[in-house]
Each structure stands twice: as C-alpha cells, then as structure tokens.
A and B are shown apart, each in its own frame.
Chain A
Amino acid sequence: MGVVSYTGETLPAQHLASALAGAGFVVGRPKLVERTLLDTFDGRLHAAGVRLEVRAGTGLQLIVSGGGPAEAHLVVDRLPSVAGDLPAGPLRARLAPHLDIRALRPTFGVAALQTEAVRRDDSGKAVVGVTLYEDLRVDAGREVSLTWVAEVVPFEGYVRPARQTADLLASLGLTGRDGDILDCLAADAGIDLRGFIDSPTVSLDAAEPAGGGFRRVLANLAGTIVANRQGTIDDIDSEFLHDLRIAVRRTRSILSHGKQVLPPDGRDHFRGEFRWLGAVTSPRRDLDVYLIEWPGYVEPLDPASAAALQPVVHHIAQRRADEHGVLVGHLQSARYDGMLSAWQAWIDDPGGASLAAKRSARPLGPLVVGRIGDAQDQLLLRGRSISPETPAEELHELRKDAKRLRYLLECFGGLLPAAARKPFVQRLKALQDNLGEHQDTEVHTAQLKAMSQELHGSPGVTADTMLAMGRLTEIFDRRRQAARDSFAERFGAYDTKQTARALADLIGAIR
C-alpha cells in the first residue's frame, strides 16, 4: 500500500484536524517545506522506476524510493549535480548506473506549508501518518488548480491503520488517488515526469506517402535538436551536445536518402546547413570525448605516468572551455536561428515542383526497403574491397556507410517490428564497434601528437609529461592496430548468410 493523496476544492481544515484528533492522531505544528524531484533531462531515473527527491526544510535531505518498500535517506550540504557528487556508499551505487554521465536537474517542485499528523500505538510506535500541504506553490512556471493536498502515509507492515485512515477521510467526503503530493500536482500542472524522450523512431505506415513519412521523421529529429540546444549552451552535461549532434547526423543522412521524395532545392540547401551545424559542433564534442574517456585511456599507465599527464588534462579542459564559447556563439547566432526556423517551415511545407510532389506520393514502405537494400549493398561492396593494405580512409568511409544504414533502421524503425530489427542490428553494431575503435584511436593518436607539439616547453610540462604522452600515444596506436587486425574477422562475421537472412526477415516485415 503506497501513499494516497486527497484533494478537494475547499479544505475542511478544522473538520479534518478534529477528525484526526478524534482518531488518535497527534497533529504537529505547520512548517514551510520544499519538495523537488530530480532526474536527468531524458528521465533516466523515472525510466528505471527510481525516484530521487530532495526535501528542504531545516536542511537538505535526499530521498530515494522505488524498487522496494524502504526509502533511502541522506542529508547533504548541497544538491548533487552528477553521481560523483554523492558520497561513496549504497545510495551512489544505486543511482550511478542509471545516471552515467548525465547531470541531475530539478524536474518539478512544490513549496508548501506542511502539517504532519501521526497516530501511534500503545508502544508509542508510529503506525500511520497524514501530511497536510497548504499554500501550494509549484515551480517550472506552472499553475495548479489545487489549493491543498492531504497525504496518507502508510508504514510498512501496518496496513490496518492506513485503511482506517483512508476510511476516515472518505467519511469526510474526500476522494483519494495513488501517489504523493508531487505526483498529484505534476498531473494537475500537466507536467510529464518521464523527461525528454530522445527516440528517432516515429509512428509510420508502409502504405502512407513517402514524402509525409520522411517529413515526420525529420520533424522528430528537429525536435531533438531544439530540445538539446539550451542544455548544450548551458553546458549542463555533455550528452546534450552528443544528442544534438546525433540528431544532426541523422537529419543529414535522411536528407540524403530522401533524394527521390524531397524537393531538391530545399534539400540541397539544408544539407549544406546541417553540414555546417555538424562541423561547428565537432571541436567541443571531440574534446568532451577525450575528457570522458580519459580515465580509461590512462588506466594501462603506471600511476606516475598518469600523474605526469595532469598538464595535458588541464590543456584539454582549457581548450574545451574555449571551444564551448565558440560553439555557444554559433548556437546563438542569427544563422542558427534562421536556419532552424526555415527548416521547420520547410518540413511543414517543402513546396517543390510537381515531379517531386508526384514522387513524394509513392508509398513509404517500398522506398525504405529499397534504401535499406542499397545501403547494405554499398556497405558490403566497400567492406569486401578492404585488405590489410587498404588506406585507413576506406575504413572511415565504411564506418559512414554503416552509420547510414543504422540511421535508416532507427529513423524508420516505426515500420520495423523490434523483434525483427534486433538480430540484424546486433550484427551491424558488432561491426560498427570495430570501425569506431579504429577511427577513434587513430584520431586520438593524431590529436595527442599535435598536442605534444603545442605543449612542448609550456609551463608545468616536464620531460615526464612528454614521456607519458609518448606512452599514451603508443597505447592508442596498439589499440588502433588491434582494431585494424581484427577487422577482417569482424567483417567476415558480418558478411554472412545469417546476416543476409536477418536483413531479409527485416525487410520482409515491412512488405
């Protein structure tokens, strides 16, 4: 039995207090409290069934619930921004896997005048509580119609007192609903506690006109770009930029696949604009990746070498701060605003010549089937041509081919049953992991060499630092070579009858 909240138009305050006192409750004195839910932008805790609340009254208290009858409580000096801000212990261990590198932010909160009433048994043990909230003020710039909420707070193992209290409130003409005051007010204010759902997949029908299907996919991606812009500018966490960039890449890829159904003038213009947006977001993202992955990079080094690399970390962090400033300038520029506005207008009504309009009326399903088939053929053709002597650029091109195919499967996932998609995507992902490792280590090797030049002779950079950079470069190079050496095996595992069958099953599901 969980918390049940009772509300109504007018509070029978005196009536409620006297009824509770008559039922053996001791009513406390009112006090001001603030209760706020914390979650990531994309609602990772909510998705995991975990709730993190902060209560501010005489201090700050974190309360974690979900996944069992007991709540975890922890008094903190300040709100945690990321999992690493929490002290080591079970509460951090519980939250960290869900949060990963995402930052916590307030999703919804209420300030109120709180009065607690408790009923105890003969031993003085609390068996049920009623908490009344009045003078409600919610944040997030929302209005609520409710003016008071009374929560019945059951205690684990004391079902009967909670039922008796529910009956008592029902006898006063009040009706309850499952959930506490935050659930109740969020519903009243129309706030979705699930957070931003970042999915490239939209609802699609194979028989619908292809133009409309492509535009719905692009509109969804535009929504992701818009949603992640402010968090990128505010630098809340690195995932905002990551998700914005993925949406840009997907957009470019879908525009490329939409050659037959989207008017060419607008398509070519926006392909150029999204190429620009992708390019201006790259420098900060590259440095984000460096900083995120750094602990893993230096793990194979001895502690002294890792410590000697501190000036390098500082240099990367400084460059990242500089690049963030440049990025903010781009995201707040007239070009960005104009491009996004024009883009959203074009998605709504791309216009175009009658030929394009006629093509866009073709059914979506067969067109997507054709594009998936072509993307797979292109991938296999290039992959089969790669030998140990082939320049690395061809592997990078192959990685792009694989991404194009993957984006098709994700963005048009609305046509594909998940059960048919998974076996094929697993195979593709295994190949992508190999290609990603190869390219990332190559890029990082080159960047590290360039940084060695930049840092040479800089204050605080010692011979030990330069030696440690050399060791790190060697580690990257070994990893790059290992990825390259295993490519043939990985590609061989992908280029099989089983993969072809998995793809045929997938395409068959569309038809």
Chain B
Amino acid sequence: MKVLATYSIKGGVGKTTSAVNLAREAAISGSRVLVWDLDPQGAATFLFRIRPKVKGGTERLVSSKGDLLEHVRASDIPGVHVVPADFSLRHLDLHLDGRKRPTERLAALLGGVADRYDIALLDCPPSISLASESVFGAADALLVPVIPTTLSSRTLHQLSMFLATQDHPPALLPYFSMVDGRKRLHRDVMAELRAEWPALLVTQIPSASTIERMGPERAPVGVYAPSSLAAKTFGQLWAEIAARLRT
C-alpha cells in the first residue's frame, strides 16, 4: 500500500478537492483506495456524503486499541472507502502527544490495513504540527497543491526546508492548483517556480466553476461532469502521480 497525503501549510489551496478527485481516479485505475480525512473541518467526509463521526473519537482511534477498519465507510465511488473526520480531530496533536513515539502512530494504524488497500490518501489540515510530523512519518509522498502566488510558493519553500530536517522524509510532489491562465501573476509565478522546482508535476489543476460545483454536488468532478476538462485534468494528475510512484 502506498500512502499519499494531500498536504500544505497554507489553507484553501485545493487539498481536499485533490484528495477526493484523486481517490476516484485511483479507484477507476484499479486501486483499492482508503481516504482518511484528518481535517476536523471534515470537508472530504462531507463531499463523500458520509456522516462526520468517529466512534469513540480521535482519542480512542489513536490509542493502542485503535483500529482503522472499525471506522471505514464505503463511499458511493466503487473501490473508495473513507475513514471520516469528526470534530474531535482538532485535538489530534494532544492525543498523539500523550503517546510514546507519537510521530509513528499514524503509520502504525495504516500498517493495520496495508494488505487491504493499494492506496491510502490522507487529507490533512493546513498546519505544521505534531500531527503533520506523524503524517510525514507515514506517507510515501506528499501531494502539495500550490496556487501560483507569492505566498503559496513561500509555503512550499517552508515545507521543503522542514522536510530537509527529517530522517526519512516522504517524496515531495508539488503541483499547481487553481490556476487561472488569464492572470499574468499566475503565469509569471509558474514560470519562476518550474525553473526552481524541476520536481513540480506537469499537470496543473485549473480554477474552474466545474470544480467549485463539488460542494453542492457532494461528489468528485468525474461523477457529475465526466467529460469536463477538470475531470480529465485530475485523471492526468493521477496518471502522473502513479508513474512517479512506480519509479
């Protein structure tokens, strides 16, 4: 099982949008996918139409008795299962801090389902914290959406510098998100960052009203607009990520 995390220090960059759409793309490519919503806002949980409830709360889940399988819900996308978020996740740092080797706990929980899924996709909250370090300890790769603006590129630098301090950092797979090709600033920042970050994925997710409809539709784009450019772009993004995972 490969563990991927949609992650950014900055909020509102398209992490959840990516997680939900990439989960569907991975599933239609033949993977068994487990999405773990780690954001107490529970946006991914909402988009999959699943009730935001973790039985026993986060404290029980990260305890030694915790078992991810107890909390798995089938989504309406064949091949995609979800461990939902609930509001108790806001105390994830606190509960991890009370454990021995807190940065290894998420990896241990995912180890319990490693033979049952091919891909685990962790949708992370926008922060850099103990929970983030636990994500870094569990993930094979971080999928980092970057809006082509100065502030977003700055947070990519911050993340890169932080990962450099880790013993076994996950691979960093940044990609442009919410791109508006009509904006000169976006074009300039993308050109600059592509020169600086050769590892940036080629696929870039557009800023599109089709994607914004995910909220009212409560489904991945490919479900309600399968022929849209946005749906095809998420397919290309997954193909690119899958190819990177194979190398």
Contact = CB atoms under 8 A, between A and B. Distances in A.
Given A88-B246, A124-B218, A70 B73 contact: no
A340 B12 CA distance: 75
Given A90-B31, A123-B51, A124-B218, A69 B116 contact: yes
B10 interface: no
A74 B218 contact: no
A89 B119 CA distance: 11
Contact of A157 (B30, B73, B80, B118): B73
B105 interface: no
Nearest to B76: A126
Contacts of B78: 71, 73
Contacts of B71: 157
Interface string A219-237: 0000000000000000000
Interface residues of B, number: 31
A68 B76 CA distance: 17
Interface in B88-124: 113, 115-119
B81 interface: yes
Contacts of A196: none
A124 B30 contact: no
Given A90-B119, A123-B51, A69 B30 contact: no
Contact of A91 (B30, B34, B76, B117): B30
B200 interface: no
A66 to B, nearest CB: 10
B61 to A, nearest CB: 14
Contact of B79 (A72, A89, A92): A72
Interface string A85-103: 0111111101000000000
Return the 8 tightest CB-CB contacts between A and B, nearest first.
A68-B116, A91-B30, A157-B73, A90-B118, A125-B49, A74-B30, A70-B32, A156-B74
B74 A157 contact: yes
Counting chain A CB atoms within 10 Å of each CB, which of B32, B242, B246 scores highest?
Answer: B32
Interface of B: 27-34, 48-51, 69, 71-74, 76, 78-81, 113, 115-119, 218, 242, 246
Contacts of B29: 74, 87, 89
A123 B218 contact: yes
Nearest to A157: B73
A292 interface: no
A70 B30 contact: no
Given A68-B117, A70-B117, A72-B30, A89 B74 contact: no
Contact of B69 (A69, A74, A123, A158): A69
Contacts of B34: 70
A338 interface: no
A111 B78 CA distance: 22
Contacts of A126: 76
Contacts of B218: 123-124
B228 to A, nearest CB: 18
Given A70-B81, A124-B218, A125-B50, A87 B30 contact: yes
Q: Which of A75, A94, A156 has the most CB of B within 10 A?
A: A156
